[in-house]
Amino acid sequence: MESRTAYGHYAALITVLIWGTTFVSTKVLLSSFMPIEILFIRFTLGFIALLPIPSHGLRSGGLREEALYALAGLTGICLYYLLENIALTYTMASNVGVIVSASPFFTALLSHFLGRKDEGLTPRFIAGFLAAIGGIALISINGSAFELNPRGDLLALLAAAIWAAYSLATRKISASGWNVIQATRRIFLYGLVFMLPVLLLSDASMDLTRLASPAILLNMLYLGFGASALCFLTWNYSVSVLGAVRTSAYLYLVPVITIAFSALVLSEPVTPLMVLGTALTLAGLMLSQGRKSS
């Protein structure tokens, strides 16, 4: 059991290591694609990547369980990323990085109101959240003025709340004995179905000749195969092992990884404020991962 728990932590860590680099890729793609186009293409690639992976059959749990898959597809695949990508077009990436990092708090809050005794708001979790969000703010703002943009910032806040619903939906699915590979495929499929009306009602052209640029193609493949197919498998596995709240706390690391990636790849400077913010964020994560003594 302890080794399975360790694998859950490793899976969550791998996930956020990759997700922490996706803001750069998304910014590159937004120069050539609309947000809905990026989403539809990346999750189509992700769905295709999951098709050849062998897995045991997924039993049917009836209409109620199917509704959970649809809810997961709507929230975690369609709405969350659509809102986040649109927010990036209205406000600074630093704003989005801070605000969406509040999703673990929303996950714990929703879990608390749904009456889960093993997950929810605890003094330790709240202390960890406050430390982590303070560290994330220091990292993201880094001495610059925090410029509010109500439209973009509210969209990012809504995205954080939407992710909480996704986390708890996948937690509920995992409790019914799902197969992570086939279930993730089904969640992706529902997400793509929910994207179709937005795609058809928008000005999206789906002109794939834009992928002829090597930089555009590589970033799209990275989002499709790495950040979508691989990461949703590892994330959903982690939720099934650790629970929605403990897994969501790993999202605190995303801004830290984004900054580290930017420093390594883009040679951006690392300031003392960023080091302090990283230390606070790591401390917040450690506090949030603590369990109540029985």
Domains of the chain: which residue ranges? 2-289
| Distance from C-alpha of 141 to C-alpha of 98, rounded to nearest angstrom | 9
Whether 93 and 154 have beta carbons less than 8 Å apart is answered as no
The pLDDT value recorded for residue 122 is 74
Kindly tell me the sign of the dihedral angle through the C-alpha atoms of 25, 246, 2, 239: negative
The pLDDT value recorded for residue 275 is 79
* Token digits of residue 243: 């629970």
The pLDDT value recorded for residue 293 is 40
Task: Give the global pTM.
Answer: 0.82
| 3-class SS letters over the chain | CHHHHHHHHHHHHHHHHHHCCHHHHHHHHCCCCCHHHHHHHHHHHHHHHHCCCCCCCCCCCHHHHHHHHHHHHHHHHHHHHHHHHHHHHHCCHHHHHHHHCCHHHHHHHHHHHCCCCCCCCCHHHHHHHHHHHHHHHHHHHCCCCCCCCHHHHHHHHHHHHHHHHHHHHHHHHHHCCCCHHHHHHHHHHHHHHHHHHHHHHCCCCCCHHHHHCHHHHHHHHHHHHHHHHHHHHHHHHHHHHHCHHHHHHHHHHHHHHHHHHHHHHCCCCCCHHHHHHHHHHHHHHHHHHCCCCC
Return the half-sphere exposure (C-beta side, CA atoms, 13 A cut-off) of residue 215: 9
Give the amino acid at 72. Answer: A
Residue partners of 55: CB distance under 8 A and separation at least 6: 179, 181, 182
| Distance from C-alpha of 7 to C-alpha of 237, rounded to nearest angstrom | 9
The pLDDT value recorded for residue 189 is 94
The pLDDT value recorded for residue 221 is 95
In order along its 294 residues, the chain shows pLDDT tens digits of 568 888 999 999 999 989 888 877 887 888 888 888 999 999 999 999 998 876 665 555 678 888 999 999 999 999 998 898 788 778 776 677 777 878 888 888 888 787 665 565 677 778 888 887 788 777 766 655 556 677 888 898 899 899 989 988 988 888 776 688 888 999 999 999 999 998 888 888 878 889 999 999 999 999 999 999 999 999 999 988 888 888 888 888 887 787 777 667 666 666 777 778 778 888 888 877 765 443
The pLDDT value recorded for residue 196 is 93
| Distance from C-alpha of 44 to C-alpha of 84, rounded to nearest angstrom | 18
Separation of CA 174 from chain center: 18
The pLDDT value recorded for residue 190 is 95
